[in-house]
Chains A and B, each alone.
Chain A
Amino acid sequence: MDMKPSKKQLALVIDLNVCVGCHACVTSCKEWNTSGISGYMSDDNPYGEDPTGNFFNRVQTFEVGEYPNTETVHFPKSCLHCEEPPCVPVCPTGASYKREEDGIVLVDYDKCIGCRYCSWACPYGAREIDEHQKVMKKCTLCVDRIYDEELPKEERKPACVMACPTNARLFGDVHDPDSNVSVAIREEGGYALMPEWNTKPANHYLPRRRTQRSINDDELVRADNPLNKEIEVSKPNFDEPSLDDSTSW
């Protein structure tokens, strides 16, 4: 189904280059949302035999390459608020919807019948049914924070973005070409996940970038030295008086 492009499309841009895999976004997401409008987020047997529960956001770890040429990539994953979300048209009740005004994909818990069809229709596994409330849950982009006028302006951001210690999570409007997120996507190679399904994810990822300088050997040692700047300067012997012995400053 073709959706009209929303005027605004809020999204996250996740910088894999600086994510250190600390899971601060995971815990702050759970903390904020379990007590927010989209809560609670179940947490069964957290210290027991078979723990399980809901998360809107997970951080996974991948190893790229073969030893010794490996790189560890920490990879946070949450709903990508797709611009063509396959999860929305399949919902029989209309509980799943994409907001016109800012492109956030949400679930109306009062309409959801818990049929799980939308979670089958999300290729990214971003939707998790709540086994207690029996409704579908997913990342809301902290829709209850970002417009809250009670909060100071700089805190009107998703909880995960606030928590990230390395600033690996940027938040903004990807339809505004001058926003921080659009600039980052454009200038730092932002890409979308599983582009093969044309879901047009709003969230983007910035790739790992090696900070590497190419230096030639002759840039380290001066090959020619026309002014003889680097000849050895003769030093006085240790037992000879130096300037320090004769002068008081």
Chain B
Amino acid sequence: MNPAFSVIFLTTLIGVGQGLFVAMVTGQSISALGFLPEQSNQYYVFGSIVVIGFLIAGLVASFFHLGHPERAWRAAAMWRTSWLSREVIVLPLLMGAVFVYGLINYSEWNLSELGITNGFKGDLALIVGIAGVVITFALFICTGMIYACIKFLQEWSHPLTVINFTLFGLCSGFLLATLIAQYRAPDFVSLFGGCSLVFLLLVLITRLWSLYRNSKIRHKSTLQSAIGIRHNKIQQKSQGFMGGSVNTRDFFHHVGPIFFKSIKWIFLLLVFPVAMALLISGMMQQSVVLLAIAFGLQYVGLLAERWFFFAQANHPQNLYYQTIS
């Protein structure tokens, strides 16, 4: 496929936002249980604003992909059959949940206002937060399934697609959470940084697994099945037109093999060892700057990863467009 930058930014940006939100709620739950010191409400409010910022940035990026963004609301119609439609519903739902979570933290509302008292500080925020985390995972599934549900894009059509989208989002979101914690809530740094490292190692395994799987794929569609002629030697002599068309532009990445391979190495390097080294040294030196560089470089690596994810998928329609004339 030809990677579309709008979609690359959409999936990576909302991934960061989702991961960051999961981190905030995790931190708040653990401190409510008393394992870590309590943090100020401003910290959670600030975090929620950053999460919403990333989600909105992703949404804006996605609009660049649409021919008619003014009609985007129509995309909520077919949630029964379409994962894209489900994503279109779940994303604003998550924004709403994060907004309410931030608002509750801001106003310091508690269940005690409803006459329910218990020992937990911020109990109402936690309830909304946990509901938000459920929505976050639903969104990861929707986003991943958009790609994983197309059977004949065999590189995508596997649970690993959903798993990788989720783990990359969590890993980058927790990394950003570490950065914010270093700045606003140092008690959380080792929790978030540690989680980010765990997700990093997990996604290293699953992404390498999917790269291995993709390198071994035998494509079910062949020129023989595409035109229905049984013969080992078939050559296209003409694709029917000399100029370009959507078919020749949209479904192939149009870069040379060296560029293509180097993107793979760039993402493997930036997302994994580089980010890991910077994260660990940032945590040890308690340096906001190092953590910021770690997040920035990992995000660039994630852009490369997503580019490669799209570019590596082989669309069977390309079988019909091998030779201009």
Contacts and interface: CB of A to CB of B under 8 A. Distances in A.
A125 B243 contact: no
B240 A26 contact: yes
A92 B236 CA distance: 35
A54 B248 CA distance: 12
A128 to B, nearest CB: 4
A86 B74 contact: no
B241 A193 contact: no
Given A86-B150, A89-B82, A113-B71, A120 B315 contact: yes
A180 to B, nearest CB: 20
A92 B225 contact: no
A90 B320 contact: no
The 9 closest A-B pairs by CB, nearest first: A114-B67, A134-B67, A125-B317, A51-B243, A92-B85, A58-B240, A89-B81, A92-B75, A61-B238
Contacts, number: 175
A61 B237 contact: yes
A91 B80 CA distance: 11
B138 to A, nearest CB: 16
B205 interface: no
B227 to A, nearest CB: 5
A66 B243 CA distance: 28
Contacts of B81: 1, 88-90
9 contacts: A53-B243, A58-B241, A112-B68, A113-B71, A114-B68, A115-B66, A124-B320, A193-B227, A194-B221
B305 to A, nearest CB: 19
Interface of B: 1, 65-69, 71-72, 74-78, 81-85, 88, 146, 149-153, 220-221, 223, 225-229, 231, 233-247, 250-251, 315-318, 320-321
A26 B239 CA distance: 13
A111 B75 CA distance: 9
The interface residues of chain A, by DSSP majority, are classed as loop
B245 A53 contact: yes
Contacts of B223: 62
Contact of B316 (A23, A123, A131, A205): A123
A16 to B, nearest CB: 8
Given A55-B245, A90-B84, A115-B84, A73 B229 contact: yes
A60 B238 contact: yes
A194 B225 contact: yes
Interface of A: 1, 23, 26, 45, 50-55, 58-66, 72-73, 75, 77, 86, 88-95, 111-117, 119-125, 128-129, 131, 133-135, 191-197, 205, 207-208
Contacts of A58: 239-241
B71 A93 contact: yes
Q: Counting chain B CB atoms within 10 Å of each CB, which of A58, A92, A112, A129 scores highest? A: A92
B243 A111 contact: no
A194 B317 CA distance: 10
Nearest to A89: B81
Nearest to A116: B250
Nearest to B147: A120
A208 B225 CA distance: 15
B74 to A, nearest CB: 4
A93 B75 contact: yes
Contacts of B68: 112-114, 134-135
A113 to B, nearest CB: 5
A111 B235 contact: no
B325 to A, nearest CB: 9
Contacts of A116: 65, 250
B111 to A, nearest CB: 38
B75 to A, nearest CB: 4
B317 A124 contact: yes
Given A93-B71, A113-B75, A52 B245 contact: yes
B231 A64 contact: yes
A63 B126 CA distance: 66
Contact of B317 (A26, A112, A122): A122
Contacts of A1: 81
A112 B150 contact: no
